[in-house]
């Protein structure tokens, strides 16, 4: 994203235009005001009234609608009118007795505009992902070698580097779904505030994409069968042990449900079946005993083996 800001330096030129005339005063003009043996100087200015000096001394203010009259002794006098911004009009006027001398001044203001010697645009991305480092850079499109001062502000985030330079780096950690407004105040020691620039660029911080929830491993039933003969039980054990050995760190859970019939209470008790399973699986099949869990389940009519394979991280099977 680029934000441009161009400043214009304005210069006001003052031009004093004047007119001067001398006429013979009529007897009725000012004889009752004017001292004897003097001449009259009138000063009128447009559009405002300005200070008038005669022979270096302040004499009064010029007139705007009606001219201001000054009575002077015959001879050459220096007249100064100070206009706006210190502009000075100076003339020597030869005052003659019984004559009126008129000075009329018009102030003309010309405003000249030109581009400031430095003109900046500010670069920054429109969007970043939370946690990224974002860089904002000021590019000077002007050419004058002027000592520039860079004053940066950010609305959020931590500036990691670049304060006082044309570019800064901001850390966006923790700013998901917020906006970083980077503002640059550019000024100098030459043109002061005439060319001062303040530029702002927004960058939206996109929150990280949600990570998929890992699937929770589940135990699964390998086999379930009634305890009839030991040979049949061993064959069923073989099948499940082969499966669990192909799954590193998985466990074999065997739930033995003791039966209530005569065979279950005499030859196939829980204790007898638990010893059969452990001896065969550990001693004959050489299965790691740390991966074998045998528990007693609720009673059923006939003693039953329920075999579960429990992957790493899965909860034990229901009993």
3-state secondary structure of 191: coil
Structure confidence at residue 113 as a pLDDT band (50, 70, 90): low
Average pLDDT over residues 55-75: 91
3-state secondary structure of 3: strand
Instruction: Between 48 and 307, name the one with better pLDDT.
Output: 307
CATH architecture of 220-310: 2-Layer Sandwich (3.30)
Domain 120-206 has CATH 3.40.190.10: no
Pick among 3.40.50, 2.40.30, 2.60.40, 2.40.10: CATH of 9-112: 2.60.40
| Torsion angle defined by CA atoms of residues 210, 212, 213 and 219, in that order, rounded to the nearest 10 degrees | 180
In 141-196 the beta strands, taken as DSSP E runs, fall at 148-154, 158-161, 167-171, 179-188
pLDDT of 238 reads 95
Q: Above 80 in pLDDT, residue 193?
A: no
Question: Would you list the domain boundaries of the chain?
Answer: 9-112, 120-206, 220-310
Tens of pLDDT, residue by residue over 33-64, are 778 888 999 999 888 899 999 999 999 999 99
Average pLDDT over residues 164-191: 87
The reply to whether domains 9-112 and 120-206 share a CATH topology is yes
Structure confidence at residue 141 as a pLDDT band (50, 70, 90): confident
Cβ proximity of 302 and 227 under 8 Å: yes
Please, what is the average pLDDT of the chain?
85
Q: Which of 91, 105, 97 is nearest to 25 (CA)?
A: 97
- Could you tell me the CA-to-CA distances from 219 to 22, 93, 241, 289, 304 in Å, in that order? 120, 117, 15, 19, 19
Give the strand pairing for 251-257 and 292-296. parallel
Helices (H), 137-288: 230-245, 262-266, 270-278
Rounded to whole angstroms, the Cα distance separating 268 from 232 reads 13
Q: Which of 117, 116, 118, 102 is nearest to 23 (CA)?
A: 102
Tens of pLDDT, residue by residue over 243-292, are 999 998 999 999 999 999 999 999 999 999 999 999 999 999 999 999 99
Q: Above 60 in pLDDT, residue 29?
A: no
Q: What's the number of CA atoms in the CB half-sphere (13 Å) around residue 184?
A: 32
Query: What whole-number percentage of the chain has pLDDT above 70?
Result: 85
Q: Above 80 in pLDDT, residue 161?
A: yes
Q: Above 50 in pLDDT, residue 126?
A: yes
Tokens representing 9 are 């330096």
Strand partners, 102: 21, 42
């Amino acid at each position: 994203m680029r934000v441009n800001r161009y400043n214009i330096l304005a210069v006001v030129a003052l031009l004093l235009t004047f007119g001067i005339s001398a006429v013979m005063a009529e007897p009725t003009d000012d004889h009752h005001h004017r001292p004897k043996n003097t001449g009259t100087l009138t000063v009128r200015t447009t559009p405002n009234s300005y200070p008038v000096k005669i022979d270096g001394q302040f004499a009064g203010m010029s007139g705007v609608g009606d001219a201001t009259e000054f009575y002077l002794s015959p001879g050459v006098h220096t007249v100064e009118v100070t206009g706006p911004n210190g502009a000075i009009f100076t003339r020597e006027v030869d005052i003659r007795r019984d004559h009126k001398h008129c000075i009329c001044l018009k102030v003309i203001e010309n405003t000249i505009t030109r581009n400031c010697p430095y003109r900046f645009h500010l670069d920054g991305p429109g969007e970043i992902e939370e946690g990224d480092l974002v860089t904002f850079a000021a590019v000077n499109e002007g050419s004058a070698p002027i000592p520039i001062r860079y004053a940066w502000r950010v609305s959020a985030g931590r500036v990691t580097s670049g304060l006082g330079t044309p570019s800064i780096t901001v850390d966006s950690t923790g700013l998901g779904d917020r906006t970083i407004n980077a503002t640059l105040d550019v000024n100098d020691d030459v043109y002061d505030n005439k060319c001062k620039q303040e530029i702002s660029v927004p960058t939206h911080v996109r929150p990280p994409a949600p990570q998929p929830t890992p699937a929770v491993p589940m135990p699964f039933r390998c086999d379930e069968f009634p305890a009839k003969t030991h040979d049949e039980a061993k064959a069923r054990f073989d099948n499940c042990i082969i499966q669990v050995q192909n799954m590193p760190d998985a466990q074999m859970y065997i739930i033995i449900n003791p039966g209530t019939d005569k065979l279950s209470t005499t030859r196939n008790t829980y204790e007898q079946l638990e010893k059969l399973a452990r001896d065969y699986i550990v001693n004959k099949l050489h299965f790691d005993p740390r991966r074998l869990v045998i528990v007693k389940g609720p009673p059923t009519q006939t003693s039953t083996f329920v075999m579960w394979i429990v992957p790493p991280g899965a909860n034990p099977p229901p009993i």
